[in-house]
Structure 1
Amino acid sequence: MDDYMKEVEGKRVHDPFGSKNMPILPSRRCVYETGAIIVGAGPSGLATAACLKEKGVPSLILERANCIASLWQLKTYDRLRLHLPKQFCELPLMPFPPNYPTYPSKQQFLTYLESYSDHFGLHPVFNTTVVSAEFDHCCGFWRVKSLGLKLEETEYACQWLVVAAGENAEEVVPQFEGMEGFGGPILHTSLYKTGEIFRGKRVLVVGCGNSGMEVCLDLCDYSARPSLVVREAVHVLPQEMLGRSTFGLSMWLLKWFPVCLVDHILLLLSHFVLGDTAKLGLNRPNLGPIQLKTDTGKTPVLDVGTLKKIRSGDIKVFPAIKRLRNQAAEFVDGRIEGFDSIILATGYKSNVPTWLKETNMFSKKDGFPCQPFPNGWKGENGLYAVGFSKRGLLGASIDSRKIAEDIKLRWKAEGTSFMAFSRAPS
């Protein structure tokens, strides 16, 4: 097999393409992975790697950050807890510790993920940014090119590519007229940790999803004066109803009733618990919360105490911003209010279209699979997606199991010959 080996940067690596098809440059290291390559070491990527390992299929995780679950570790606020009960958020093959509370804290979740990674012996390659991935139809392999911290290039080759970069890869930062002249700090929630530095400050939080609502509540705890921009209609539901989590109750009701009826029940119970949210400036969409989630992926807000602060006047509610002024904002209803700082709770987006080449699996517009859940996990030529179901960790758990089972079947049918080829002694 010496004909299939190359000496690159002092390392012997496999060249499954042959020198004619894949010339190896001195500045590029080439690695052939006999199993799957997984792009992203978040919960979805870890879950897929664990499921593959449990089925005897090797994998390699490539991660651009220096840690697992970088969104959770580096870009979330301190008070964050899981919004859903732990049984809906655990990864495959390993439940949460029994002593964990119903809604684990950020640190508890990170500890769980570290234990999960250690338990399954997962060792991601950190500080490795995938800049392109393209299927080579001539050779029948995926070519995955990456850059390290010192811009060193590595080209990986594999039969199966799992996109686990996630729905939340890049911050969404909207632009407003007059933004450059605001005169105060404007930061995305990815940079927000606590309200400590905002004590006594007038803070405008843009975005009324779960993050925006919780950041407002956190600011109140630190004696700041927050205001909330509600740009569009939003469903706010209590975190629990009838002694059960709202999500768990919804899942149970959906076993027996159609979506439209379950939505009607949820809204009736929500009105009983929370009152008319429209009176607080939070108008509800025409579609019910579950139907809206199914059709658009927009998640209802689960209230953890923010509405109480809005009712008391501790948090003001404003419509969309028309323009920013010096230390002030003008809103579309004509009101002008002074602010010291602005926090953008405007969410994240997928970055898949920037590096995944020539595939019809992902939309170029939003970077999500073109086929909605539960059919968006598998593409062509050994391409898979996990963590794009718009159903959080539960969706990732479901898809990671499907992916592992599918690759295992192909591994048994095809993998033996490739494994023998790529790992033959020199």
Structure 2
Amino acid sequence: MSINSSPKVCVIGAGSAGIAAVKVLAERGLDVHCYELSDRVGGNWVFGNTNGVSAAYKSLHINTSRQRMEFSDFPMPAHLPDFARHDQIADYFDSYVRHFDFADRIRFRTGVLHVAPRADHGFDVTISTGETLRYDAVLVANGHHWDPRLPEPMFPGAGEFRGQLMHSHAYTEEAQLTGKRVVVLGMGNSAMDIAVDASYHAEQTYLSARSGVHVIPKYVWGRPYDRLGAAERFPSFLRWPFARRLMAAATGPMSRYGLPEPDHKFAQAHPTMSSRILDRLAHGAITPVPNIDHFDGDEVVFTDGRRVAADLVVFCTGYKISFPFFDHDFLDPSGDNRIRLYRRVFHPEVPGLYFVGLVQPLGAIMPIAERQAQLIADHLQGRYHLPSAADMDSEIAAHRRGIQRRYVASKRHTIQVDFDDYMRDLRLERERGARRPAGLSAADHPARRAAEVVAR
């Protein structure tokens, strides 16, 4: 392929990020093919997804308001609630694909088994039919909420526990909780949702906190919390002091509900959104307890010495970032959940390798994925150029230092971004890249040789 010809592009996954990428690239006239394990689009928002890896549960609703989650050129229906249900979101994604008419670019019930860079340029992509196809560029959009991470190390006595141990990824409906004595470990969004479900259906519900969090109600002053002061023109150093005072007034200290006080400021950890958990705690329907210390027979023993008999323990302990289609010696972030990407999109050493939606925003991924895809399309078409390798390394290092200064040390924060700040950064980066001269970086075009990378 000559550098000036249109590249052939593979998109892995047709979840919310993948369909954004396919739509943008198809509109630009690029030769884009998408592979999706499921029989439909939507990824984690499809309850009972046939792909076998999605994590939707029956009571799942969005935590970002629909106005902040929708694609820029396809508003969500006005009749939907501000915090819509999973099936309503999945239907929205179906409608998005139909409206822009790009379903023919997606090959359903087809997984990607292996991706390897070629010595000349591009990639060999092996799919589940056994075919190996050649592509000039690969966009990875396989998501980061599908490979469960269990406690590390596992609590002593877990192997002899007489109850059931389950990761939140395996939770689908309230029937799994009915009549049981349930311990939910974790303080993230899934933990709060499952604990609330259990409070209505289980015999007893305990919420075990490994650390304190700031719980954010979905509505403040009668409006969705994420629409107050939300705009790209307001940088985070102005936004978060205001938000901290607002949240403190809205909820009060967490200790009033029996939860541990956070050891960090609001927005220094990924937020937990729930308008229901504090109510259920206040009414005694959920008993807060500290972290698990060990298991003993059919009992869970907590760090304060308390013991409770339990039938089910649900670990809401997050996910690994995993790319099973890459060789481990090529790219394997599963140990520390870290991957070096320029602007969270471009692999700095592998021409033509891009990542879409591999961020954990204080907000929604969908508009971010759309803007990332626009940046990638510009790059594929020669309208945007990468900086030098040294400048990319410098930006990646600066981003990591910023995360270390800002956030609590945790594997869940390695891909954290502020929604508005990052959206502004992507917009400005498109403008900067349009003015840069070509050829500053070896990764500046997918048709450049990747022999050096392959040889490593």
TM bucket normalised to smaller: 0.7 to 0.9
Q: 1:307 aligns with which of 258, 263, 278?
A: 278
Describe the shift of the 1:250–1:181 C-alpha distance in structure 2 as closer, same or farther (beyond 3 A).
farther
- The aligned residue for residue 76 of structure 2 is 96
Q: How many residues align?
A: 368
The Cα shift of 1:145 comes to 2.2
Q: Deviations over 1:163-184 (max 9, x none)?
A: 1111223112233222222222
- The aligned residue for residue 140 of structure 1 is 121
Describe the shift of the 1:401–1:303 C-alpha distance in structure 2 as closer, same or farther (beyond 3 A).
same
Describe the shift of the 1:395–1:366 C-alpha distance in structure 2 as closer, same or farther (beyond 3 A).
farther
Mapped pair 1:376 → 2:355:
no
Q: 1:235 aligns with which of 202, 205, 214?
A: 214
Query: 1:255-404, aligned counterparts within 5 Å?
Result: 255-256=233-234, 258-259=236-237, 262-290=239-267, 292=268, 298-352=269-323, 355=326, 363=333, 365-371=335-341, 375-379=343-347, 380-391=350-361, 392-393=364-365, 394-404=367-377
- The aligned residue for residue 157 of structure 1 is 134
- What are the ranges of 5 or more consecutive residues in structure 1 without an aligned counterpart? 1-15, 17-32, 293-297, 418-426
Describe the shift of the 1:167–1:192 C-alpha distance in structure 2 as closer, same or farther (beyond 3 A).
same
Q: Is the 8 A contact 1:235 1:285 kept in 2?
A: yes
2:41 partner SS: coil
Mapped pair 1:39 → 2:4:
no
Q: Is the 8 A contact 2:117 2:124 kept in 1?
A: yes
Q: Is the 8 A contact 1:234 1:285 kept in 2?
A: yes
The Cα shift of 1:306 comes to 0.6
- The aligned residue for residue 420 of structure 1 is none
d(CA) in 2 for partners of 1:356 and 1:400?
25
Give the RMSD, CA atoms, in angstroms. 2.9
2:83 partner SS: coil
The Cα shift of 1:250 comes to 4.6
Normalised to the residue count of structure 1, the TM-score between the two structures is 0.78
Q: What is the identity, as a one-letter code, of the residue corresponding to 1:318? A: V
The Cα shift of 1:378 comes to 1.7
1:213 partner SS: helix
The Cα shift of 1:286 comes to 4.3
Q: What is the identity, as a one-letter code, of the residue corresponding to 1:319? A: P
The Cα shift of 1:309 comes to 0.9
Identity %, equivalent residues: 24
Over alpha carbons, which structure has the higher Rg?
Answer: 1
1:346 partner SS: coil
- The aligned residue for residue 61 of structure 1 is 34
Q: Is the 8 A contact 1:34 1:159 kept in 2?
A: yes
- The aligned residue for residue 76 of structure 1 is 56
Q: 2:181 aligns with which of 181, 198, 202?
A: 202
Q: Is the 8 A contact 1:132 1:357 kept in 2?
A: no
d(CA) in 1 for partners of 2:272 and 2:9?
36
d(CA) in 2 for partners of 1:353 and 1:193?
24
Q: Deviations over 1:34-79 (max 9, x none)?
A: 5210111111001100011111112111223444233222321111
d(CA) in 2 for partners of 1:237 and 1:35?
44
Q: What is the identity, as a one-letter code, of the residue corresponding to 2:369? A: A
Normalised to the residue count of structure 2, the TM-score between the two structures is 0.73
Q: What is the identity, as a one-letter code, of the residue corresponding to 1:370? A: R
Q: 1:49 aligns with which of 22, 46, 56?
A: 22
Range with greater deviation from structure 2 (46-55 or 272-281)? 272-281
Describe the shift of the 1:364–1:410 C-alpha distance in structure 2 as closer, same or farther (beyond 3 A).
farther
Q: What is the identity, as a one-letter code, of the residue corresponding to 1:181? A: E
The Cα shift of 1:204 comes to 0.6
d(CA) in 1 for partners of 2:200 and 2:179?
11
